[in-house]
Amino acid sequence: MLHFDIFCRVVDNYGDIGVCWRLARQLAAPPHQKNVRLWVDDLHSFKRLEPRLQTELNEQHIDGVTVHPWNDAQSFPPPAEVVIEAFACELPDTYKAAITDKTVWLNLEYLSAEDWVEDCHAQPSPQQQGKRKYFFFPGFTERTGGLLREENLKQQRLSWQQDQSNAQALWTKIGLSERTQIELMHGQRRQILLFSYPSAPVMALLQALQQGNHDTLVLSPTPFTPEQQVLSNDHLQLHHFNFVSQQEFDHLLWSSDLNFVRGEDSLVRALWAAKPFIWQPYEQEEGLHTKKLQALLDRSPMNQAVQTLMHTWSNCDSQQFTDQYLSCMQAPMWHRWREEALQWHNTLLQQKDLCTHLLEFCTKHQPTQ
Ligand code: TRH
């Protein structure tokens, strides 16, 4: 059986550990059931999305994955057959020295829908002493490493959504009143999940929701500012929730009518939720994030009005956002947006997932011992 070591440094935010944790669990779960060790340099950040984690332990087992804290000064066991260095996190020197020409060594890169990804995916990155390291790029086409997706994810989502007591238990956990829960269940109130960077034009969104025809609930893991809180009333409820586990985060996406997501991991989860969403890419120098957003939209079935709205949100353009949002929420446009989100989900579902691509790559590149 193939053994994996995954190394993850938490730089800022939650995307790096978010991706590594999903990857580790998917490799360890059926149908793959690989032996996986995950080395993480910041267990406190990790604990926010995995509450079962005990930050004081040197070794623990969760969902079939062995989790270890990582600091460069510690000693390491011999490398696994497959070593994944997430997001060019630089392996510890002693561990790197023990890598041999038999090890399949990968640098897992950030997700992007840009064209160049196909050319760089699976390319070697020359190393000393015949060691073989490759770039592994997730992506949106068959010529990339694909997207992380659990086995039977669609079926899991549909059965969760079919039984309303699942959503009720989640809503109770995050502190929603019984009355709000009933309104959500009966479709009398729309639920919006708001996971965005501080620069997003949140005030403009809230103003649009105030003017809109529907009673709305906005759920946010970031507390609302006093200025935003002033806009909260029965028509527009604002609710701050404490970070939930990754699985519960998925459930929030599944139970919402519209999702605002940011960075790469929640983007992919919003796609798998099959619901309309607005993506805010992680801001990069020279407007690179705008290119990333357009590259994603170019691969999507999204209509022009929704594409423009996503750019307006990403460019933090409060002036334009309110009117554009209101027009996208008009009945025929909203219906179209929902259809397109479902269509996009169904198209991507036809593709091979990242773990399957990864295992095929390892089989192809692993020398016979
Ligand atoms: O946290 P992010 O902004 O991460 C970012 C990006 O990945 C970016 O590319 C990277 O360079 C930067 O970090 C350093 O957004 P992202 O990628 O969506 O990751 C958030 C993770 O947090 C995701 O796995 C979902 C999870 N999450 C929960 O588990 N529970 C929660 O309550 C919330 C709000 C999020």
Q: Write the CATH number for 55.
A: 3.40.50
Tell me, using a 6 A CB cutoff, whether residue 281 lines ligand 1.
no
108 with 138, same domain?
Answer: yes
3 state SS of 312: helix
Distance 266 CA to ligand 1 centre (A): 6
CA distances (Å), origin 346, targets 20, 29, 50, 289: 25, 23, 29, 26
Distance 302 CA to ligand 1 centre (A): 23
Residue 172: CATH number of its domain: 3.40.50.2000
Residue 322 has pLDDT above 90, yes or no: yes
55 with 123, same domain?
Answer: yes
Report the candidate in 1, 11, 13, 16 with the shortest Cα–Cα distance to residue 84.
16
120 with 106, same domain?
Answer: yes
1-38: per-residue pLDDT in tens? 789 999 999 988 999 999 999 999 999 999 999 999 99
**Ligand 1, atom nearest to 50 Cα:** 29
Strand partners, 218: 192, 238
**Residue 272 CB-half CA count within 13 A:** 24
Burial-class residue 340 by CB neighbours within 10 Å (0-12, 13-18, 19+).
middle
Report the candidate in 363, 333, 172 with the shortest Cα–Cα distance to residue 258.
333
Residue 301 has pLDDT above 80, yes or no: yes
Which residues are within 8 A (CB) of 138 and not within 5 positions of it... i.e. 6 or more apart? Answer: 108, 109, 110, 111, 144, 145, 146, 147, 148, 354
In this prediction, residues 221-249 reach a mean pLDDT of: 97
33 with 122, same domain?
Answer: yes
Helix, strand, coil distribution of the chain in percent, nearest 5: 45, 20, 40
Q: Indicate if 339 belongs to the active site.
A: no
Tell me, using a 6 A CB cutoff, whether residue 249 lines ligand 1.
yes
In this prediction, residues 314-322 reach a mean pLDDT of: 96
Residue 234 has pLDDT above 80, yes or no: yes
229 with 125, same domain?
Answer: no
In this prediction, residues 307-335 reach a mean pLDDT of: 97
Mutate to test the pocket of ligand 1, among 265, 271, 279 (most ligand atoms within 8 A of CB): 265
109 with 185, same domain?
Answer: no
Strand 65-69 and strand 35-40: pairing? parallel
Neighbours of 159 (CB within 10 A): 11
Report the candidate in 157, 261, 37 with the shortest Cα–Cα distance to residue 149.
157
115 with 176, same domain?
Answer: no
Tell me, using a 6 A CB cutoff, whether residue 49 lines ligand 1.
yes
For the chain, how many structural domains are there in total? 2
15 with 103, same domain?
Answer: yes
Residue type, 356: T
128 with 169, same domain?
Answer: no
Catalytic-role residue among 41, 50, 264, 353: 264
Q: Which of 115-119, 129-133, 204-208, 231-235 has the lowest mean pLDDT?
A: 129-133
Q: What is the token pair recorded at 190? A: 């729309």
pTM of the model: 0.96
Q: What is the token pair recorded at 332? A: 């025929």
Tell me, using a 6 A CB cutoff, whether residue 255 lines ligand 1.
no
Q: Which domain holds residue 23?
A: 3-147+352-365
Burial-class residue 269 by CB neighbours within 10 Å (0-12, 13-18, 19+).
buried
Phi-psi region of 174 (alpha: psi -120 to 50; beta: other; left: phi over 0): alpha
Query: Which of the given ranges, 96-105, 128-137, 143-152, has the highest pLDDT on average?
Result: 143-152
119 with 195, same domain?
Answer: no
The pLDDT value given to residue 267: 98
188 with 287, same domain?
Answer: yes
Which residues are within 8 A (CB) of 151 and not within 5 positions of it... i.e. 6 or more apart? Answer: 26, 29, 30, 31
Q: Indicate if 16 belongs to the active site.
A: yes
The pLDDT value given to residue 368: 60
What is the rounded average pLDDT for all residues in the chain? 96
